[in-house]
Structure 1
Amino acid sequence: MSSYSYLFKYIIIGDSAVGKSCLLLQFTDRRFKNDHDLTIGVEFGARTVSINDKTIKLQMWDTAGQESFRSITRSYYRGAVAALLVYDITNRDSFVSLSRWISEARAHGNKDITLILVGNKNDLEEQRVISTEEAQSFADQNNLLFIETSAKTGNNVDAAYINTAKAIMSKIENAEYDLSNEHCGIKIGNASFKESLQRKSMADKAECKC
């Protein structure tokens, strides 16, 4: 059985055709599909990463952006510790929709959900209509992490997921989560359990010394 310290549940949200499924596939399989079908409902992926010398399992749920599937995907906000809020830097409409997606994430997700704004398709620089400065300003106004990526080339894809995990780990270390709450989106893994036993054993040995 694989060992990890924590499991974080992510949800990937945004309009259709912004590259959500491609961002997931690039992160989990390191490949890109040019002809990726539209997501029907929800797709799933997972990968382990190392943060602060701890093994973190990221469990990612990629949601359909079409309005007809919104009632299905809303249920996946519950129990998510983070959301990747994806837009297409070449599509103004996908950027305009962000406020609605943020409101939905904060309404249906847990109150401590970590949101990262992801401007995808930065390999299409000549078609860009959303500047990095405009997106950064929007992120600052809405208390979001921010990064630009290319699911096609892989540029910054790992960083989008890992920077979010680092922000979550920082909150864990600052005791900002109730880890006993199963709906917080964080599961304590068997590695952390072993670490706690080892610390207890060392403390017990120290107390036994004359």
Structure 2
Amino acid sequence: MPRNFIHDDSIWICLIIATSLVVILMAIFSLTHGINDIFPYFFLVPVILAAYAFPERAVMVTVTLAGIYFVLVWMFGTLSATMIAVHTAWFFVFVSLGVVISHFAEISKIRKNQVEHLKKEAFQQIENNMEQLLILNDQIRNPLQAILLDASVLDENTNVLISDQVKTIEVILDQLDERYLESEKVRKFLRKYYSFEKK
């Protein structure tokens, strides 16, 4: 099954790189023009994107972005004790946010994989049950014919009684056949739209 366009790794990588470059340019512009309050918030965008898209690498990417942020502040900012304290705090905010988001994104990914696995197992069990139902249906019909044949040698009342019961069972088996055909439509739908393959 082809991967969804939005989940393609190359798309996420390009998006993270593009937003990182834009944010770095905005930071340089802000710092060289004495604007210190707004640009740190923009660094949250690539941090969140990286943590969501690549939870296993999010800490490394987040630390890298936070490091770039800190270097930009030292290179282009007007340094004072207050500014150093504020930007150091932002550094730890970026890293902490990356760790937290990556943790929850990883849990979400694991749970999604578990749900997909359970769905496939459930579908396979449905497949097995339907095949068994079809086999049992045939296995019940054959002895019923033998019972009818044996009942024909009995007295008329017993023969009629047994024939009526066999017909009742055959009606039930016909209903099972109808349910099987309905279930087969559902199976085809699941195979087509949820990519469940018949083993």
Q: TM-score range by the shorter chain?
A: under 0.3
- Greater radius of gyration (CA): 2
TM-score, length of structure 2 as denominator length: 0.24
**Greater length-normalized contact order (CA 8 Å, ≥ 6 residues apart):** 1
Larger proportion of strand? 1
TM-score, length of structure 1 as denominator length: 0.24
